[in-house]
Structure 1
Amino acid sequence: MGSEGPPAAITTVHVTGFKKFHGVSENPTETIVNNLAEYMKKKGLPKGLVLGSCNILETAGQEALVPLYQTLQSAITARDSDSQSSSSNKIIWTSLPVEDITKALAKKGYDVMTSDDAGRFVCNYVYYHSLRFAEQNETKSLFVHVPLFFTINEETQMHFVASLLEVLSSIC
């Protein structure tokens, strides 16, 4: 005999990064995303979390939209979306509790901060479309800027991403 409770919720996380772009000869997100599945296999995924796709976006600007939407669409399984919002001049916020995520990561010793600015160029464009897609498909999206490896080394950043996944699994 044992106690049975409701089944644990499963959270699937899809991670994207970028190839190098103007002014950035080595983008750490490419390395992090390429190594994440193996890193998490060794470390162990947090309970209730499934690592979905890990994709690198190789194109920038308008050309990034098709591969971005293909990546986002792969996150939606057995769900049809017929709510196509045509509003393109609105502010969209993530539905994730960013302040709680930030506080949890700070408690783990990371120097993190929230921001309402994804930056310019590719980051802002990709995050806007990710949020718009999430809103239309009742999913969640989070954008995280990471520093270059000469600022914070690769191992520390890999550990940070594992901690972020742990926090997301506990919050979601």
Structure 2
Amino acid sequence: MGSLGSSTNDACSVHFHLTGFGRFRLVAENPTELLVKQFPSFCEERRELHESATLQTTTVAVTSVKGAQIALDEVYSKLQTDKNIRNVVIHCGVDASATCFRLEERAYNEASFSCPDESGWQPRAVPIDDTKPLDSFLMTSLDIRRAVEELKKKGFDVKCSEDAGRFLCNWVYYQSLTRAQYEPNTKVVFVHFPLHLHSQDIQNYCEFLLQLLNVITIRELATI
């Protein structure tokens, strides 16, 4: 299996950085916080992480713009610049209206929060990057449509989405995609999870995430 925090084969490896969110106004206990905290031990127990994959960091962000910025700074400070290493940042968030797993293809340059973040900020139609049009967007460079196909074959209810909303999930995704443009060998994707809190649901989330990492690893190794 792969490793947690170190790579068994730095000559050809994929380093994963995983983030989730803490509580916010509409979600007293965020399942992505539980997911991020439980995922390392889940991988150790299952021992099915691809041998060339490394779970490098796991970070839970305070659900505010400031908290998300701190989390991004932490993640991006840990990226590797070796040309034979692919850095993959996976941001996880919850969508109370979601009925399946969603891999987000794009992030829009707009912050229109439906409720205040945990610091009390609630922007309306504010550009995330004020040098670009409000309706502009950035897209992940990962082949998530193929990843969705592979995950469906494994029995998961998952789809590709073109709209991550305009709340903090979209904000952190846009900011991360922007930063990844200036980082060698770095790719980013955002995953939306349904709102469930039962222990079995979190285990299912961990299983989905494990298989997503493996699918991405196999694909990225072919391009390194």
Matched, 1:9 2:57: no
Distance in 1, matches of 2:130 and 2:12, equals 32
Higher relative helix content: 1
Query: How much has 1:67 moved relative to structure 2?
Result: 2.9
> Which residue among 55, 58, 61 is the counterpart of 1:57?
61
Aligned length: 161
For residues 149 and 59 of structure 1, do their structure 2 counterparts lie closer, same or farther at Cα, with a shift above 3 Å needed? Answer: closer
The percent identity for this pair of structures is 33
Q: How does 1:128-167 map to 2 (within 5 A)?
A: 128-138=174-184, 139-150=186-197, 153-167=201-215
Matched, 1:95 2:141: yes
Contact kept, 8 Å, 2:31 with 2:197, in 1: the verdict is no
Range that drifts further, 153-162 or 105-114: 153-162
1:123-167 Cα distance to aligned partner (Å, 9 max, x none):
010000111111111310010001122588111111111111111
Contact kept, 8 Å, 2:23 with 2:63, in 1: the verdict is no
Q: How does 1:16-165 map to 2 (within 5 A)?
A: 16-44=19-47, 45-77=49-81, 87-89=131-133, 90-138=136-184, 139-150=186-197, 153-165=201-213
Contact kept, 8 Å, 1:19 with 1:27, in 2: the verdict is yes
For residues 156 and 59 of structure 1, do their structure 2 counterparts lie closer, same or farther at Cα, with a shift above 3 Å needed? Answer: closer
Distance in 1, matches of 2:25 and 2:79, equals 29
Structure 1 unaligned residues grouped into runs of 5+: 1-6, 80-84
Contact kept, 8 Å, 1:61 with 1:121, in 2: the verdict is no
Range that drifts further, 95-104 or 114-123: 114-123
1:76-108 Cα distance to aligned partner (Å, 9 max, x none):
4579xxxxx995444211100010010010000
Structure 2 unaligned residues grouped into runs of 5+: 1-9, 84-128
Query: How much has 1:168 moved relative to structure 2?
Result: 1.2
Distance in 2, matches of 1:55 and 1:77, equals 20
**TM-score, length-normalised on structure 2?**
0.65
